[in-house]
Structure 1
Amino acid sequence: MDTKEEYRKKLEEQLKEWKEKIETLETKAVHLTAGAKSQLTREIDELLQKKEVLKEKWNALQKASGEEWESMKGGMDKASAELKSALDRVASHFKKQ
């Protein structure tokens, strides 16, 4: 089981990696056709919304302690998994273009 500090470091690394991937997608959008660019822009907006939810959960988790922290960690893990899954899906789809 991760300690709070280990978990914090791990999540910060993931957030940094995901931010870079989203920025890569934003750069790629410039070179796409209008239709594909529009679709990618919508997908990026959804990713940014998921990232914002994750950051809000993270801020709440930072303030939590003890049992509260442990119970909130599950929601954080779920939000992380949803963002990762969505990012992987979008990156895979637009990798071909």
Structure 2
Amino acid sequence: MNDKELYQEKIKAHIDEMKADAQKLKAKASEASADTKIELSKKVDELQDSIEKSENELKKLNEASGEAWQTLKSGLESSWANLSSSVKDAVSKFKN
């Protein structure tokens, strides 16, 4: 397996983890009070948008050939950092 394939697998695993976290927040929202439910639902929507953007970046990376993937890698890492931060913030904020 080459570096690109290893990197793709790593990012895919992280995206799957973030999807699971978003689903946990969604489940919490269904059990929360009305105000918290609204706030959690908004946060879940934001997370799902971020996950979708990361998946699109991963798709571009998959399609990149040669050294072009190295350029896309930095964009994906930026998206990934934002997504991870958003998930951690949401989970810690609504941890109960």
TM-score by length of 1: 0.93
Deviations 1:15-43 (A, max 9, x none): 11111111111111111110010001001
How many Å separate the matches in 2 of 1:54 and 1:7?
13
Question: Given the alignment of the two structures, is residue 47 of structure 1 paired with residue 74 of structure 2, yes or no?
Answer: no
**Unaligned stretches of 5+ residues in structure 2:** none
Aligned partner letter, 1:11:
I
Corresponding residue for 1:8? 8
Deviation (angstroms), 1:12: 1.4
Q: Which secondary structure state, in structure 1, belongs to the residue aligned with residue 32 of structure 2?
A: coil
Corresponding residue for 2:20? 20
How many Å separate the matches in 2 of 1:94 and 1:51?
19
Q: How many residues align?
A: 95
Deviation (angstroms), 1:72: 0.6
> Retained in 1: the 8 A contact 2:22–2:44?
yes
Corresponding residue for 1:66? 66
Structure 1: 4+ residue segments shifted above 2 A: none
TM-score by length of 2: 0.94
> Retained in 1: the 8 A contact 2:47–2:86?
yes
Corresponding residue for 2:29? 29
RMSD: 1.1
Corresponding residue for 2:77? 77
